[in-house]
Amino acid sequence: MLSLNVRADVRGITADLSRYLGEEKKAVVRALNKTATQARTEASKEVRSVGYNIKASAIKKSFAINRASAGNLVVTLKATGRPIGMINYGARQGGGGVSVQVKSGRKVLKHAFIASMPNGHRGVFERTGKGHKKVVRNGKVMRSGLPIKELFGPSIPQSLANDAVEKAVMAKIRQKFPQILRHELAFAASRRR
């Protein structure tokens, strides 16, 4: 699980922000929360620009934002998620296996196949094990199939852990927070008049 924590970068700023009262404090809270939302969007863009073939909506859904409040001037972005099934990476069945596109460029997974399970779940699978066993079913001797396992690609937190993505998100936070804060403080001042 990856946690991008804004607290680490704006700790000095939040100490200065605690001096604000009333409407100004609300403006600070709004600025922190808007910055977190923009950081989430930036993370989604960066993951896709690095080359991962993941839908932007899936990346955004994986984020939990613990929003700031007047009593707690800290915003936390946390991405969670499990490995994503290869079927979600544009899997195509071919003669030599299954072709998937996790990052830029397609890759063929030899010995893999696409199958639907009795419960309706579709996935990319491969057989494991070495030999067939003889099994008696309904009085007939049959060979059992080898066990299968589903293949998975990287999870969303793994793709977010990329250095380029982290640097871009933190740069966006450092760039946008002062701008949004100035805007929100000006808005709060204009409402007071």
pLDDT digits (tens, 9 = 90+) for 9-51: 455 555 555 555 678 888 889 999 999 999 999 999 998 888 8
Do 17 and 75 have their domain in common?
yes
Do 93 and 76 have their domain in common?
no
More confident residue, 61 or 9: 61
Burial 157-186 (b: 16+ CB within 10 A, else e): bbbbebeebeebbbebbeebbeebbeebbe
Q: Using 50, 70 and 90 to split pLDDT, how confident is the model at 149?
A: very high
Do 141 and 164 have their domain in common?
no
**What's the domain range around 141?**
86-150
Residue 63 pairs with which residues in a beta bridge? 79
Do 34 and 76 have their domain in common?
yes
Radius of gyration for the alpha carbons in the chain, expressed in angstroms and rounded: 24
Do 66 and 48 have their domain in common?
yes
Do 71 and 162 have their domain in common?
yes
Do 49 and 142 have their domain in common?
no
